[in-house]
Amino acid sequence: MKSPLRWLMIALAFAATMLNYLDRQTLSVTAPVLMDQFGMDHQAYSHVVFAFMLAYTIGNGISGPILDRLGTRLGFALTMAWWSAAGMLNGLASGARSLGAFQFLLGAGEAGNWPASVKVVAEWFPTDERALASGIFNSGSAAGAIMAPPIVVWLLLHYGWRQAFVAVGLLGYLWIALWGWIYHTPEELKAEIKSPKIPLRTLYRTRFVIVFTLSKILIDPVWYFYIFWIPEYLKNARHFSMRSIGRYAWIPFAVAGVGNLLGGGVSGGLLRWGVSLNAARKGGVTLFALLMTSAIPAVLVQDVRLSIAFVSVSMLGYTACCTIMLAFPADVFPKNVVATIYGTGSMGAGFGGMIFALITGWLIDHFSWIPVFIGFGVLPLLSSLMLWAFLGPISKESSGLCPTEAA
């Protein structure tokens, strides 16, 4: 039976994801000011982003198993407490090195959000609603990114960049109080959640986990590029002022928010129309990966309004792809290991993000923004091709586990 409480639970995951991105985007929005104050070039800034991605990568691999062991309620609260405190510490930065160190701590905490939210979806939603539920919580990333430019720029201009980091970080503790009061695991699932865990070594050897992780290495760095570099792109390549960045940088993220619901709606709609789970999931990812190629004309057009429009379409394509892929672990594996599976995939994505962040900074400083945008327009197609060629059918039987392990 579908509990009406499931929508309240996913609303809490949405709010957590929104705060996650509000904390994360504070660096991106303040980057032009911090680069001037600390004397950083693009390559030095890429090292700060690299520090975040390094911790985020390690954190994904660690947070998934921890969340599966501690449970959704306690695990989610702890990860929120960590990253909120780390976000506030960024206000103490005195240079590129200390900023990178605080971003490292932020990345370690923020890594737990998606494995935890995937567990919320697995615990409360049936197969035909999982992609939509994933889209709802994942749209919090767009909401946080939309809110960040105007809020952070306002705080920066009126109080300073240090106070901006502190004010944003404090919001997480309000969420923890609400979460602790409301969230619980459905009674009928408690026995399944507490059942023996599948050994990590067994999970890591399955074809699904290997291919799923490799596919995220190729597609997720596109999103990391947009969230960390768009304000600097608008300032450096399109000559925007800070006020203009605050006024317009939210637009692509607003469009991206639609992609979360669109991806979940398309995948769920295909299932209701009788399309197989495998075709609905992979077909949806492929469709929206094609939209992500709009990154290429975004950097080539002269009109900045068209550039922002093309970036917006590409970001919509990513969030739609991500929404569908968020449902993959629960489609294939038992509920008590879904955080581990998604955390492993995100760990791979983090490695990709780290590598491409360094490449991005080097390309911009030595060439231009053009090869960067072209590369991020092509990578999603390679990710989609990998899913079709190597993942195998998406079903409980394709987990690569024996029947007793998959039960």
Distance CA 309, CA 289 (A): 17
Handedness of CA 346, 351, 354, 357 (dihedral sign): negative
CATH of residue 59:
1.20.1250.20
Q: Whole-prediction pTM value?
A: 0.75
276-284: long-range contacts at Cβ-Cβ below 8 A with a sequence spacing of 24 or more?
277/127, 277/331, 277/394, 277/395, 278/393, 278/394, 278/395, 281/131, 281/324, 281/325, 281/327, 281/328, 281/331, 281/394, 282/384, 282/387, 282/388, 282/391, 282/394, 284/131, 284/320, 284/321, 284/324
**Quick one: which of 223, 382, 406, 259 has its CA closest to 329?**
406
Residue 1 in any domain: the answer is no
- pLDDT score of 387: 95
Q: Do the beta carbons of residue 67 and residue 123 sit within 8 Å?
A: no
Distance CA 79, CA 112 (A): 6
Structure tokens at 50: 């690299």
**Quick one: which of 117, 115, 101 has its CA closest to 55?**
101
Residue 232 in any domain: the answer is yes
Query: Which domain range does residue 284 map to?
Result: 6-406
Q: What is the mean pLDDT of each run of 10 residues along the chain (407 residues)?
A: 81 94 87 87 84 87 86 92 94 90 94 90 84 86 82 89 90 93 74 62 85 92 87 86 80 87 88 90 95 95 92 95 88 82 84 84 90 95 94 72 46
Number of domains in the chain: 1
Residue 101 in any domain: the answer is yes
Q: What is the full DSSP assignment across 246-307?
A: HHHTTHHHHHHHHHHHHHHHHHHHHHHTT--HHHHHHHHHHHHHHHGGGHHHHHH-S-HHHH
Residue 267 in any domain: the answer is yes
Q: 3-state DSSP: the chain helix, strand, coil percent, rounded to 5?
A: 85, 0, 15
Handedness of CA 318, 319, 324, 325 (dihedral sign): positive
- pLDDT score of 407: 43
Residue 391 in any domain: the answer is yes
